[in-house]
Amino acid sequence: MPLESILNHILSEAAAHRNKIIEEAKSKRRTIVQEARLETGRLYQERINEEKGICEAKKQRLVVAARLEQKKNLLKTRQELIDSAFQKLKSTLARDKFKKQQVLADKVREAPEDIDFYLEKTRQDYETEIARILFS
């Protein structure tokens, strides 16, 4: 029987040692899993923040592009209104048939006035005034 008690003693010590190793492994596993979860959470939040930044930048670019397009459309519409006003002025002046007097050596005669010449010469000054009246 003494051999049996020695064997039982060795087996019980081996079982205790095995249980201790298993508990240490479980403890390390819990620590590793907890650290992995924390690191995963940190990486996830970091990625979310990056994507938020990218989305915010895209949103800003879209807003700026939309505002620019709006301003371009507004300027185009204003220019069309100014062109329309000048076209109406030109047709009114053409209808009234402005004439100028040409003094020649032997006589004075009336000739049609070149409306386009005067409109182009004064257009810049009057565009500013028309824009002020239309868009104030």
pLDDT tens track for 86-131: 888 777 776 666 667 777 778 877 766 677 777 777 777 777 877 7
**pLDDT value at position 37?**
97
* Model confidence at 14: pLDDT above 70: yes
Q: What is the 3-state secondary structure (H, E, C) of the chain?
A: CHHHHHHHHHHHHHHHHHHHHHHHHHHHHHHHHHHHHHHHHHHHHHHHHHHHHHHHHHHHHHHHHHHHHHHHHHHHHHHHHHHHHHHHHHHHHHHCCCEEEEECCCCEEEEECCHHHHHHHHHHHHHHHHHHHHHC
pLDDT tens track for 46-85: 999 999 999 999 999 999 999 999 999 998 998 898 888 8
Q: What is the value of pTM for the model shown?
A: 0.53
